[in-house]
């Protein structure tokens, strides 16, 4: 079943200990779409400027991603510049230019309206809510956010959370959103704000799935590992790729059963691990489904007793 995703399609300049790339294709919606496209049909809503041309469009086309919802407008695309020189787990932002994103007003193409799954990537919660309200009949809505919106746009974010089935955030964000340093308590408090499912990503240590149906004695529903990687070339987009694998797999299933949620966590981790292996979307562009399944099996070996 098809996923509609709204979020940024952007250009990134990235520096890591492995090197530097200037203005490569990036943005949360880009990483999410590429990742989810290995599992199901994906439709993107975003805005780009005149610097987004055929070469960028071709990256989406190659994965059969529906780009009719990408609005082309005068000006430059969203631009981000950051580095991970001291710490591969945390980006240092050097520059953010909203450009055409500053006046973005998401429009949903008619062809997208039968999407049963909706992903609200990390953008202004006001825009997230606007999209959510225009698609009242979706079966399952997931979303992401970040420290900036949690800290300075809390009321708008709280409105978005009410409309989410699943929230995917990292450790720091979960603790900040709940104002509680204990992850189990923080998770329960976040779920009380709306989303009945919470995925907390721990970077190189994997991710935890919390569901409000989990017995209290158990603390969490599932702990999924991350791939122990020999080299992390570029962690940009790992979280969005995780979300794409997680939500893409869920959308591909006839039923979103508890077992499907557990496997979705593993697929999320798998896709996040691939994203780190090359700069920008390079690895995602060359990835194949057999490689994904091979790594999924490896994750099983990495975690299961025999």
Among 232, 251, 271, 284, binds a copy of itself (CB under 8 A): 232
Among 156, 158, 184, 193, binds a copy of itself (CB under 8 A): 184
Among 20, 22, 92, 205, binds a copy of itself (CB under 8 A): 205
Nearest to 175 by CA among 150, 156, 152: 150
CA-atom Rg of the chain in angstroms: 18
141 Cβ contact partners less than 8 Å away, ≥ 6 residues apart: 117, 118, 119, 120, 132, 163, 164, 165, 166
Number of residues that bind a copy of itself (CB under 8 A): 39
Among 183, 190, 271, 276, binds a copy of itself (CB under 8 A): 183
Residue pointed to by tokens 């190189």: 204
Tell me: does residue 298 bind a copy of itself (CB under 8 A): yes
Helix, strand, coil shares of the chain as percentages rounded to 5?
40, 25, 35
Tell me: does residue 206 bind a copy of itself (CB under 8 A): yes
Q: Minimum distance from CB of 293 to a copy of itself (Å)?
A: 13
* Binding-site string for a copy of itself from residue 246 to residue 285, where x marks contact by CB under 8 A and - marks none: -------------x--xx--x-------------------
CA distance linking residue 109 with residue 113, whole number of Å = 7
131 Cβ contact partners less than 8 Å away, ≥ 6 residues apart: 6, 45, 106, 108, 118, 120
Task: Indicate the residue among 92 and 300 with the shorter CB distance to a copy of itself.
Answer: 300
Nearest to 223 by CA among 143, 140, 299: 299
Q: Please give the residues from 78 up to 137 whose contact with a copy of itself meets the rule CB under 8 A.
A: 88
Among 51, 204, 282, 291, binds a copy of itself (CB under 8 A): 204
Residue pointed to by tokens 């989990």: 214
Q: Minimum distance from CB of 157 to a copy of itself (Å)?
A: 24
Q: Which residues contribute to the site for a copy of itself (CB under 8 A)?
A: 88, 181-185, 202, 204-206, 208, 216-223, 225-232, 259, 262-263, 266, 298, 300-306
């Amino acid at each position: 079943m098809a996923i509609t995703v709204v979020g940024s399609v952007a250009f990134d300049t990235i520096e890591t200990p492995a090197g530097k790339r200037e203005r490569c294709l990036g943005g949360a919606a880009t990483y999410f779409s590429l990742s989810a496209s290995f599992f199901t049909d994906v439709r993107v809503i975003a805005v780009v400027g005149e610097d987004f041309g055929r070469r960028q469009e071709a990256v989406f086309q190659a994965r059969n991603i529906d780009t009719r919802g990408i609005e082309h407008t005068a000006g430059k695309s969203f631009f981000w510049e950051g580095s991970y020189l001291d710490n591969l787990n945390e980006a240092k932002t050097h520059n953010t230019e909203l450009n055409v994103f500053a006046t973005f007003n998401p429009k949903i193409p008619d062809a997208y309206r039968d999407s049963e799954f909706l992903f609200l990537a990390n953008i202004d919660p006001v825009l997230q809510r606007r999209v959510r309200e225009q698609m009242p009949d979706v079966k399952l809505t997931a979303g992401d956010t970040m420290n900036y919106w949690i800290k300075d746009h809390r009321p708008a974010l709280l409105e978005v959370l009410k409309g989410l089935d699943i929230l995917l955030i990292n450790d720091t964000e979960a603790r900040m959103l709940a104002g509680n340093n204990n992850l189990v308590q923080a998770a329960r408090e976040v779920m009380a704000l709306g989303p009945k499912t919470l995925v907390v990503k721990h970077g190189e240590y994997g991710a935890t799935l919390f569901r409000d149906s989990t017995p209290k004695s158990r603390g969490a529903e599932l702990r999924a590992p991350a791939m122990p990687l020999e080299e992390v070339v570029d962690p940009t987009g790992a979280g969005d790729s995780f979300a794409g694998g997680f939500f893409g797999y869920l959308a591909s299933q006839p039923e979103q059963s508890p077992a499907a949620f557990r496997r979705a966590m593993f697929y999320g981790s798998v896709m996040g691990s691939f994203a780190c292996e090359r700069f920008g979307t390079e690895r995602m562009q060359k990835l194949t489904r057999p490689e994904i399944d091979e790594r999924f099996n490896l994750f099983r070996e990495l975690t299961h007793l025999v």
